[in-house]
Structure formats: structure tokens, C-alpha cells
Structure 1
């Protein structure tokens, strides 16, 4: 029975509950719930709650490694969101969704972190399987049938033939952003890293054909290339990116010629940012971002509650919770910056990813929260290794000093 419900990884075992939770973390748009119409489904947070409860009951003696700053900020933000709901907002479907978003930010990365802490490694094979499933579904939609498996996706928007496909996301832009998050995971792979890196780029650029997705991916690649300079794999990475750019230019002028992506990029090159903002979709995204920031500043960064829905990730948090949201927003950007090794790369990425997450993206997206958990765990392991190295060095020095004293005697 154990063999049927467990998946063995390098240093530990994924249990059935772990597997279900991870599936909904990496495929957060599937199986629309019958209660509330929404893009991202609540299953990752719900199964994460069960997983945390199970860990508390069965693994309470297992110490958590690393700094807990993110989790303290996340749980504090959840508490503030509940107070705003009770003191200043009506309990409606919109307010419930907003608070559940904060609940996801607190629950999902903590549950994911507990799994990593227990098994001692990223479940690389399992993540590869799920990325391969995303790629296969996207490829079938791109080459054969645009509506393939879209019936299992919540809030799907795939009606326009000149747009990209959705994969297992609800719209092309979310597929592109999902690939942006996948790239953070892929660079942690120990095997077949370049294969999955290339697959993810094809899926996020060629299949999704989303200007927003390409912007996110371009920012990641910029900092990744900067961080990889002067490393052994740096030359290979640059070669792959150059080949990818050449391939994209060829596809852009052939296969993608009559697509929305071609239209937007051409508009940007011919008329600049002003011309791009005149596009209805791009203009709406910009307006949502600008209005969210303006509303928050006009209210002196005081909480506005959940009366209206805001199409901005960080902007939504600022409008709803005011300055109380600042700690968790800083912690999210800081955790994402830990994707890279060099301090300068981390600083640049902190700034750029903060700007990106003000766009129309969901902060409660389990893919984003999974990346945060992986980065926090990776940073904790580096910290532990550093402490062990210092301790070993101190022991060596002490032993050497003892030998010298013995010789003198």
C-alpha cells in the first residue's frame, strides 16, 4: 500500500498528500470549483492546510531550518487582512476572495517549505513531469486543437484565434507568467537543465505569444545572464539565448506574422510606448496599475478594504491593506531575488521583480508561492552549510592550537 501512494525522491519520500498538494501548486488553474468563478483555484491552499496540520501532528519534533522572516510577515499580513474585513468591510464574495488570497500567501509557501524540509531536496523528477505535461498540452493546443483540455481549466479565455494558447492556464498571458515561474525552478535542476530551460522558453514565448509573459521572461533572462557571467556554464547559456533569439526572429516573421504578439511588438517598434498603450488590452492593464497606485497614495497608504477589485498584484495589496502590506511585499521580492547567487544580481532583480509584480498578476498564485518556498529553503541550506564550514574551521584551528601547546610542553 505504501508503494502505491508514495513517490521516492533522492533524500526522502513524497507522500500522497504531498503529491496532490504539489500538483495543485504547479497546476493552479485546473478543476474549476463550483462555488466561485475564478482563474486560480483554491485547492493548493486547502490541501496545504491539511498538510500543515498533518506535519504538526506527526513531525512536531522536526526543526525548521533557516530564517522565518517571510512566514512571520505572511501570517502577520493575514491577521491584518482579517481585521480589515471585520472592522471596515462587508463580508461579500469579493472580500472573501481577497482574504483567501492572503490566506494562500501564508499557507502555500509554508506547506511547500515543510515538504522540502522533510525530504531534504527539491522533488526534481516530479517537477519535471508536471512541466512536461504543461508543454505537451500547450503543444497540442498550438499545433492541433486550441481547445484541448480547456474544459478542466477555470475561467479560461481562449476565444481569439490570433492569440497564443493557454496550456493549463486560463489565458495566454498567464501561461507566459507561469513559464516565468517555471524558469526559477528549472535553474535548480541538477540534470537536463538546458532541455527544460529550452522547453519552458518555447512554451512561454512561442506557444503563449503574450507580450506580458515575454516581458516577465525577458527580465528573468537579463538577470540570469548577468548572474551566470564568468561561470562554467555561462558560455553555454549565452549560446542558447542567442540561438533562441535568432529562432524567435525567424518565427516572428513567419509563423507569428498574423498573431496578436506580432501586432503588439510592431506597434511598440513603430509608435513606441504611447502606441502600445492605445491598444485596448495593454491600455487596460496600464490603467489598472496606475489607478491602484494613485488610489493608495491618495488615501495616504491607509487600508481601503475590499470594496472594489483591483487589477494589480502589489497595487491590490497596497490598496486593500495600505502600509500594512509593505512588509510582505518586500519579503516576496526579497525571496524572489534569492534565485540568484551574486549580490548585485539580487539587488537588480529585487527592483525589477517589484516593478513586474505591480502588473495584473496574482500574488496568491501557488506557482509564485512555490518559487518563494524553494528559494527560502535553498537559502537556508546555504546558511547551514556556511555555519558548518565555519564550525569545522574553528575546530581545525582549535586542534592546531592544542597540538602547538602540546609540543611546547
Structure 2
């Protein structure tokens, strides 16, 4: 046997900026990012804009064009701004992806050109998938406009679109050239999107940083009251923790089976599908967090005081802890509309063996490789009872199930 073994090392580096008024010609953040890689200058770029952002910020397309005109020595807009439908629908529609691919093709972009994606996480995913696959990779600059995308998804190194009823079935690992978080976009969000994105901040606090959890808890009332300074602080710390894990966690391209940043997501992805996206991603993640924290408590890993603090915070942030789809077909866990089917789908998504993140404490997470179905069903029932009662204080006081959960390590 004759083998040539190759070892390929690639280092990625990209800035995550925080600003206001990114398309004000006096704001040089975008210009300087493009100038750093413009070879030859001016660099050609296209802009993909979320239609919800376009509606909420009248005249934005014009301001984008004026920004390019003001910095024509560095960047040129190679085609009119493409406005696309926002929300999860774009990730389910191959025609929408074809439209973005056609934009890139017709604008004659090359691998040194830029796709600038402005919008919520779904639009960033769709545009990012196109940028990563056209010419095997065109530079991508993300300008996230929601709490969820600014505090989590936009700072990551992957993209995905849906297929076969599965969240992010298609996708690539492709670090962006840059991420620019412009806080002015957050002011026009509706309350669901303003609050829904906080679930990802709670998630990363639970697995990484107890002090951050305490800070969110202390600011809950201000966050619900739409205090921008409080939100900016949460977004920045959450983005920092997500980026830190990706860059220093040892597995940025998820070659192993452990996914700390997917805590609560196995159920969340399933719930989005089962509700036909009536639940938004952040809301589904909140329910997934509540479920896996309740399971952690029932299995004896998480102290009741910590569990109650977590549930109390989710509810203080006006986030859901239950949806009827969570409890559907619990008597038939293999039913195609059972949330428990999501465990196997999640295993396939991970690759290798099932790995679910559970909690030993706030800021203390660990991998579990087997989940007791009866324990998970009981966890769902607890959340259902709490939601029906409208209080965290009415579920049984002794939250444990028999020690039948195998393989929890």
C-alpha cells in the first residue's frame, strides 16, 4: 500500500464590527474593510437586501448607492440592489436562490468580488450559500439586522438552506470576510424579533458564562422595555462568546459530534418545521432551551434552583417555554409529526453518534450521548403543565424521574 498523506492548515481571520449608520458616507467601516482586500481596486460588489429591512428603512437602497458613489475609488456597485423576501421562506425556495445566483453571474463577479448581504438570518444564510458556491467562493460581508443574527448566526462560519423538510439540509462552512453589526437596524424590529433573538444570548450564557446569564437576568425588564443600551450590551457580549467558541473551541468546522452552540436546537429545528414556521427561530430555541434544561433537572444533573432561574428568565423575557406541537403524538414517538423524531434528525445533522448538550449548572454544560425517551416525554409534560398554569410554581416540586436515563456522562 502506497499512501501520500496531506496535512492542510488554513487560517481564517475576519472582523466583527459594531457601529451605527453603516451606509452614512462618513462611516468608513465598510469602505475600509473592502479597501483592505480590493485587488484590483475598485472591487465589484452586489447587495442583497431583505425586503422587511427595505420597508422599515425607507430610502435605504438610495443610501446604499450613494455610499458606493462616495467611495468609488474602492468599491463599485456592479448591479442594482436586489431586494428579496425575508424570513424562513427564502431558505425553502430554490427559485430565490437561483435569483441570487443569477445576480452574481450577470454582474460578472469573480472570487475577489463581494456579496454584501443585509437582513435577518434567513437572508444572510441564503446569500451566504450562494456566495460560497458561486465560483467555489466569493467574498461575503454580512450586515445582520436582527437581534438573532447580530448576537449569534452572523458571526458564525457556516450557512444553510432547507431541504427535504430538514432545517439547513444544504449548506457550507465558509467564514465571511467581515460582519458589520449596525445597531440602528434593531430599532425597527417588532417585539417578537426584538425579544426572540435573546434566546441565543441566554443559550450561550447557559453553556459558557454564568456571569453573562446574571447580567441578562438583571437587565430583563430593561430589555423587555426596549432599552437600546441594554440590548447593545447583550448583543455584543453574545456575539463575542459565539465567536470565541468558534475560533478557540477546537472544531470550527464541526468535524466532531459535539455542538455546544446548538444547545436546545434539536427540538427547536423540529418545532419550526412542525409549526410551518409559525414559531420563529428564536422562539423555538427558547422552547428547546426550556426542554433540555427541564430534562437536565429531571435527570438529576441540574439543581432545581438553577432550573427555576432559567425558566423564570425565559418567561421574564416574554419568550415561550411550550407550544402544542411539542406535545403532539407523545404516545407514538416515531410518528412523523412527533418532536422526538428530531433526535434522530439531529444525529444525522451532527454526523456520528447522537450528542445533546445538557446542563450541570448555569455556565456548566456537558455532552450526553443517549436520551431517555420517557424522561424527555415527562419533561415535555412538565412544560405543558407550567404553560397551562401560567406559572413556574405549579409543576411538581420534586422534579426528578427514575434513574433510567442511560449513557448520560
Same fold (TM over 0.5): no
Q: Which has the higher contact order (CA 8 A, sep 6+)?
A: 1
Name the structure with the higher helix share: 1
Rg: which structure is higher? 1
